[in-house]
Amino acid sequence: MHSLAQIAPILGAYAGSPSLPKVMPKSHGPRPPRASFGNPTNSRYANQMSANELKWSHEERGNALVLSPKGRVDEATADAFKDHMVATMQNGPDKAILDLSGIDYMSSRGLRGFTLAQRAATQNGTTIVLAAPNDTLREILQISRYDTIFTVTETVEAALGN
């Protein structure tokens, strides 16, 4: 079994905490300082976590704005996901349909983005409808009870009819 001090540098999370001894191979010389524990932006695996960057497209259809993110909503992209949705809701379209068909994966931080976007939408009188989630995302929405907060439809067309 490895100690935290041995495996944390591999994970990109060891910040040289005084409570943990520094374990450094003598042949590699001094290590550069690392980000604080849990900061994925400096982790060597951060780019692998979101191999596909999150991309957005927008389309106005009647009184609705259809937002279509594509990619993964994970630790590396969740803040951008949240920021984009909140900024869009602050502009106050009557109805915002989030087409989830292009989302391959969503972490719990993506759900937090939904929560913050819903708050902004409520303040501006915008209704958010989640459309076309894959089976895994639909299950996540059910387990987290987000399907009771948002209307969830099978297709964008069904969301436009609501």
User: Tokens standing for 84?
Assistant: 């984009």
pLDDT at position 65 = 96
Q: Which positions ≥6 away from 158 have C-beta within 8 Å?
A: 131
| pTM (two decimals) | 0.68
pLDDT tens for 36-51 read 444 444 444 444 444 5
Question: Coil, strand, or helix at residue 73?
Answer: strand
pLDDT tens for 68-96 read 999 999 999 999 999 999 999 998 789 99
pLDDT tens for 120-155 read 999 999 999 999 999 999 999 999 999 999 999 999
Give the chain's domains with CATH numbers.
4-44 (no CATH), 55-161 (3.30.750.24)
